[in-house]
Structure 1
């Protein structure tokens, strides 16, 4: 049986919020967060819960040791959702800044790997 990697054994989890929007770059952001979760780098968490001000999700996010938002396009919906909920101390990666263009970047394993390698260093200095 394979051992599942865990990023969140401590009291202060490392959280990822992906825009997961309707465009291809939103789907790419979603898959990057899922990959990093599967790899034990951090835990993908519910951006809709942030927008809906769900108390348990807000409390867990407040307790996080690190938060990173992954946005697919320059609209920055994930970043803005966190800011609207009062969060200011978090990392942010916009896939458009990595050269992924909306409508021209279907999800592929190579694109997920490239983007994941850009997000993962945001968690490198944490235990």
Structure 2
């Protein structure tokens, strides 16, 4: 399977433990070839090649750490709707400023997300 056959995954990657958990999950999905990670900052910043990728018609998985849904909002700026949108707060991942992600929260959320997307 070519990388371009995979869905795209975007994640929030802010300063909280929940945001970094979202980023870790997206990286793991990329490394395990579940999805191809792309840059949400580039989409939100109107970087043309990254916006083209987001608008390419591939399925999109968006992972946000908290209900602010920054990742989903960056995509919406370009009228892109993710096939799957996950809020890690729905998986009991706490948003704590100045703390690293919990390995247990990361593993639990990753496993549940894989189940929900049918992996």
TM bucket by the smaller chain? Answer: 0.7 to 0.9
Q: How does 1:1-127 map to 2 (within 5 A)?
A: 9=2, 11-103=4-96, 106-121=100-115, 123-124=117-118
d(CA) in 1 for partners of 2:95, 2:60: 24
1:18–1:89 distance in 2 versus 1, CA, 3 Å: closer
**Matches of 1:54 and 1:12, distance apart in 2:** 22
CA shift, 1:115, in A, is: 1.3
Distance in 2 (CA, whole Å) between partners of 1:10 and 1:76 is 26
Q: Which runs of 5+ in 1 are unaligned?
A: 1-7
Deviations 1:25-84 (A, max 9, x none): 001101011111111100111001101111111112222421011000111110111111
1:15/1:68 contact within 8 Å kept: yes
Please list every run of at least 4 consecutive aligned residues from structure 1 whose deviation after the TM superposition is greater than 4 angstroms.
none
Tell me, which stretches of 5 or more residues in structure 2 are unaligned? Answer: none
Question: Under a length normalisation based on structure 2, what TM-score does the superposition of the two structures give?
Answer: 0.85
Q: How many pairs are equivalent?
A: 118
CA distance in 2, matches of 1:120, 1:57: 25
Q: Secondary structure at the match of 2:30?
A: helix
